[in-house]
Structure 1
């Protein structure tokens, strides 16, 4: 594994919850949910979150998203990369 292709996983500091048909990530600190900082996931973001139950590379994630959605490569990679970067900055995803 090279630095160009790091592996990502869910941070232990967040849990996924489904409420009234919406999917949320809820940050948790010291066993307490931070309900003031909920993050809504769209269906593709939910698929990525579910994939991160074990460490995955950006390439693995993109290949799966392309298979599931039938979308072509270029924008899928950019969108996945942007999502992972944002989630990493918020402390919801970490490098494995």
Structure 2
């Protein structure tokens, strides 16, 4: 399966809050060390986060970004895949169906 066909869902142990123009991700796991890992998302990253819903595929999110921000398709594809991989690495999202 192509990475762009994958669908992700948010980890229920991550809380997000919008403050001003930024979205903050805070882990609420049992490990107190997780509180040292608070993530601040810029506008585009927050848009991606908001669209990770367990239904949209990566390519669907890419299309939404291209429409919303009038961005170049190749740049969007590369940047979104990288950001999604980063979210996976820090356990903020999981592959739908896993």
TM-score class normalised by the smaller sequence: 0.7 to 0.9
Alignment of 1:10-89 (within 5 A): 10-19=10-19, 21-30=21-30, 34-89=34-89
Aligned-pair distance for 1:18?
Answer: 2.7
- Greater helix percent: which structure? 2
Task: Report runs of 4+ in structure 1 exceeding 6 Å deviation.
Answer: none
Gaps of 5+ in 2: none
CA RMSD of aligned residues (A): 2.1
Kept in 2, the 8 Å contact 1:13–1:91? The answer is no
Gaps of 5+ in 1: none
Q: Give the secondary structure class of the aligned counterpart of 1:29.
A: coil
- Greater strand percent: which structure? 1
Matched positions, count: 94
Moved more, 57-66 or 10-19: 10-19
Give me the whole-angstrom Cα distance separating, in 1, the residues matched to 2:21 and 2:6.
Answer: 33
Q: Give the secondary structure class of the aligned counterpart of 2:91.
A: coil
TM-score, length basis structure 1: 0.86
